[in-house]
Amino acid sequence: MKISILGCYAATPRTLTNPTSQVLEIKDHLFLIDCGEGTQVQLRKNKIKFSRINHIFISHLHGDHFFGLPGLVSTFRLLGRDKEMHIYGPKGIKEAITLLLKLGDSWTNYPLVFHELTAMVPELIYEDDKVTVETIPLNHRVYTNGFLFKEKVAERKLNIEAVAKYKIDKAYFQNIKNGKDIVLDDGLIIPNVELTFDPVKPKSYAFCSDTSYKPDIVPQIKNVDVLYHESTFLNSEMHLVAKTKHSTAKEAALIAKTANVGTLILGHYSTRYKSIELFKDEAMKVYANVELADDGKVFEL
């Protein structure tokens, strides 16, 4: 699992910082999460192949989280894309994007499929044989979701020496990997545990931006491997939290600690501060395993 941060700063783009966008690589998928201005430039800088992106998840309809999407949709057309593109986001995102395409007479030459979200409770919005994606309802000034990405449990791994010992035919290998016991010709039952090893523990990633402090998300994200949580402010600006419905670094750390996550990644920083290290310093007073997102930074599990 790899997380590539394309942008992680709040509000407006600057010469050295970009608004929210990131790519999650998980089980051979490349999922684009949010699409602030400059996303496609950042994709090129990070050498991420446009053609591998088939699913885009938009948290909410504030400009610093989706104003890069119309340009990206248009660029896919110019690149000759013919595969389906699926966009998951709040109700209204289809109208916003298709209006621009209509006014510019630049309809895509590939299928553009919108999945508009309205639910106020978690819902499963994507599933295949390897991965699931659920919404995480957040509390912001407009309808907003985070996203929970989870690998499915993989099939069990063959113990080649044990299989050879019992002279088991290859025709039964898939059943063994699926967890089934094997009955030999003489009637002896070989338990699956003797023939296989446990699969690698499935990984999980929770993206939570933008939101005020919302402890009721904890049960859904309990024990995730990595949590990305917005930390727009430091505790010294707590007076701005209620008005803007954002979080402080301390509040993000409280969520991480309560949910027992593996690693907390902070992001969505206000640019009023001289150094993002201040966010880490504040969060680590509450929770030890803290990382700082930054444009171009990559996290690998």
Q: Which residues are catalytic?
A: 64
DSSP per-residue codes, 152-211: PPPPPEE-HHHHHHTT--GGGHHHHHTT--EE-TTS-EE-HHHHEEPPPPPPEEEEE-S-
Residues 6+ apart with CB under 8 A from 194: 159, 162
| Residue 239 annotated in ligand binding | no
| Closest CA relative to residue 141, chosen from 21, 31, 242, 7 | 242
| Residue 246 annotated in ligand binding | no
| Crossing angle (nearest 10°) for helices 93-103 and 69-78 | 50
Q: Phi, psi (5° rounding) for residue 297?
A: -80, 145
Residue 137: helix, strand or coil by DSSP?
strand
| Residue 169 annotated in ligand binding | no
Angle at 205 between CA 225 and CA 216, to 5 degrees: 90
Report how far residue 51's alpha carbon sits from residue 216's, in angstroms, rounded to the nearest whole number: 37
Residue 58: helix, strand or coil by DSSP?
coil
| Beta-sheet strands, E only, within the chain | 2-7, 21-26, 29-35, 53-57, 85-90, 112-117, 124-127, 131-137, 145-151, 157-158, 182-183, 189-190, 196-197, 204-208, 226-230, 263-267, 290-292, 298-300
Residue with tokens 């509040």: 251
Report whether 133 contacts 147 (CB < 8 A): yes
| Residue 115 annotated in ligand binding | no
| Residue 55 annotated in ligand binding | no
- Binding positions are 60, 62, 64-65, 140, 210, 268
- Binding positions for Zn(2+) are 60, 62, 64-65, 140, 210, 268
